[in-house]
Structure 1
Amino acid sequence: MKLARRARRGAVDEENSYWVSFADIMSSLLILFILAAVALMVQLMTKQDELGTALAEVDRQMNEQELQQAAFDEQISTISEAERVRAEILSEMRARLEAAGIKVVLNDDSSVLSIPSSALGFGAGNYDIAPAYQDRATIIGTILSDVLRGSDRTRFLDTVFVEGHTDSVPFEGPLDMDNWGLSTFRAISLWQLWDETLSKKQQLDTLRNAEGAPLFSVSGYADTRPVAGTPDGASEHAPNRRIDIRITIVRPTSDELRIISDEFATGTAS
Structure 2
Amino acid sequence: MTGPKIYLKRGGKDEAEKPFWISFADLMTALMVLFLVVMGVALLAVTKDVTEREKKEAQHNKEIEMVLDRFEAAAKRHEDDGIKIDRRRQVIDFGQRALFAFGKSNLDRSQEEVLRRFVPEVLKLSNDELGKRVLKRLVVEGYTDKTGTYLSNLNLSLQRSQRVLCAMFAVRGNTLLSESEKEQVRNLFLVGGYSFNAAKGNDDESRRVEMRLEFLGVDEHRQEVSQLPGNFGECALT
What secondary structure, in the 3-state scheme, does the structure 2 residue paired with 1:113 have? strand
How far residue 78 of structure 1 moved from its aligned partner, in angstroms, is 5.1
Per-residue CA deviations over 1:1-50 (Å, capped at 9, x if unaligned) read xxxxx4xxx3x74xx23xx03xx113443x337x44x5449996x66863
Counterpart AA for 1:187 = S
Q: How does 1:129-208 map to 2 (within 5 A)?
A: 129-170=107-148, 178-196=152-170, 197-203=176-182, 205=184
Separation in 2, partners of 1:224, 1:42: 70
Q: Which has a greater percent of helix?
A: 1
**Aligned equivalent of 1:210:** none
Query: Which of 221, 230, 234 matches 2:194?
Result: 221
CA distance in 1, matches of 2:119, 2:191: 14
Could you say if the C-alpha distance between residues 43 and 164 of structure 1 is closer, same or farther in structure 2, counting changes exceeding 3 Å? closer
Name the structure 1 match of 2:54: 73
Out of 8, 26, 32, the position equivalent to 2:16 is: 32
Distance 1:55 1:200 in 2: 65
- Indicate yes or no: 2:69 matched with 1:88: yes
| 1:152 Cα deviation after fit | 3.0
Cα distance change, pair 155–184 in 1 and its aligned pair in 2 (3 A): same
Return the alpha-carbon distance in structure 1 between the equivalents of residues 86 and 154 of structure 2: 23
Q: Over residues 174-209 of structure 1, what are the superposed CA-to-partner deviations in whole Å (9 max), with x where a residue is unaligned?
A: xxx8322222112111112212331133236467xx
Identity of aligned residues (%): 13
TM-score, structure 2 length as denominator? 0.71
Alpha-carbon distance in structure 2 between the residues aligned to 1:28 and 1:41: 20
8 Å Cα contact 1:120/1:133 also seen in 2: yes
SS in 2 for 1:92: helix
More off after superposition, 138-147 vs 81-90:
81-90
Q: What is the DSSP-based 3-state SS (H/G/I as helix, E as strand, rest coil) of the residue aligned with 2:88?
A: coil
User: 1:77 deviation in Å?
Assistant: 2.0
Identify unmatched segments of 5+ residues in structure 1: 1-5, 172-176, 208-213, 230-236, 254-270
Cα distance between partner residues in 1 of 2:23 and 2:197: 80
Give CA-to-partner distance per residue, 1:232-252, whole Å, 9 cap, x none.
xxxxx3322222111122236
Rounded Cα–Cα distance in structure 2 between residues aligned with 1:142 and 1:195: 13
Partners of 2:88 and 2:117 in 1: how far apart?
Answer: 25
Measure the CA separation in 2 of the matches of 1:137 and 1:206. 12
TM-score by length of 1: 0.64
Q: Give the number of the structure whose alpha-carbon radius of gyration is greater.
A: 1
Q: 2:185, 2:48 → 1: CA distance?
A: 37
8 A Cα contact 1:127 1:186, kept in partner: yes
CA contact (8 A) 1:106 1:114 kept: yes
Q: Deviations over 1:77-102 (max 9, x none)?
A: 2552354145224423321221xx21
User: Deviations for 1:82-141, whole angstroms, at most 9, x for unmatched residues?
Assistant: 54145224423321221xx2113433515112213x324633332222234332221021
Aligned residue pair count: 213
* Structure-2 separation of matches of 1:57 and 1:132: 70
Distance 2:100 2:24 in 1: 89
Partners of 1:204 and 1:216 within 8 A in 2: no
In structure 2, how many angstroms separate the alpha carbons of the residues matched to 1:225 and 1:40? 74
- Give the aligned partner of residue 44 of structure 2: 63
Asked if the contact 1:121/1:130 (under 8 Å) is kept, the reply is no
**Structure 1: how far apart are the matches of 2:116 and 2:83?**
15
Superposition deviation, residue 216 in structure 1: 2.2
Q: RMSD in angstroms over aligned alpha carbons?
A: 3.4
Structure 2 gaps, min length 5? 171-175, 220-238
